[in-house]
Homo-oligomer: A and B are copies of this chain.
Amino acid sequence: MIQLHGFTGSGNCYKPALAMRQLGIPYQWHEVDILRGESRTPAFLAKNPNGRIPLLEVEPGRYLAESNAMLGYLADGTALLPADRWARAKVYEWLFFEQYSHEPYIATIRFWTTIENSVERHRDRIAEMRPRGHAALAVMERQLAQTPFLTGADYTIADIALFAYTHVAHEGGFDLGPYPAVRNWLGNVMDTPGFVPMQDCCG
């Protein structure tokens, strides 16, 4: 059985968990307390030299890091990742957008706000980062005003990747009020077959 090494409350860990639930792939969860440095121990670094969670152990000793690489691996050959070359490229476009333009702002501010409780120490950085998070939401809004899911009519791992931190963006003080299409899309994702909330599949 696949082993998922993760931290409760991490949107990045929620991504492979949700994909596996919706694809009917059983897995076991192993908690890694990143606040206690458990992702930087020699034992963990031997599994993932980059010292980050989530980490997917697809069979004993065979590890895959990077949440969005996991999504591509898990969804390969399923309806969550189209076989058509161009359609697949557009899914990956959103996956890279998520890791470069969305997660570093929206997830990081949420982490400092509700997980690490370090908002005071990061006040200046948050002021710099907040507009970039809103810029990412605006890019999503522009697309989702036109299509029910990020790449068009169909739900894919692009939606799973962006849902992970967008649905908890308010925990970092992001008001989704100005993004009606994004709010509507959150509902579309929650209505997909086999959808499971974060707290029910992580930890």
Contact = CB atoms under 8 A, between A and B. Distances in A.
Interface of A: 49-50, 52, 58, 62, 64-70, 72-73, 76-77, 85-86, 88-90, 92-93, 95-97, 99-101, 103-104, 138-139, 142-143
B142 A97 contact: no
- Count copies of this chain in the complex: 2
Contacts of A66: 92-93, 96-97, 100
B73 A96 contact: no
Contacts of A65: 93, 97
Contacts of A76: 85, 88-89
A138 B93 CA distance: 27
B101 A50 contact: yes
Contacts of A50: 97, 101, 139
B101 A142 contact: no
Contact of A72 (B62, B89, B143): B89
Nearest to A62: B86
Contact of A90 (B64, B67, B86): B64
B143 A49 contact: yes
Contacts of A68: 92, 96
Contact of A69 (B64, B73, B93, B138): B93
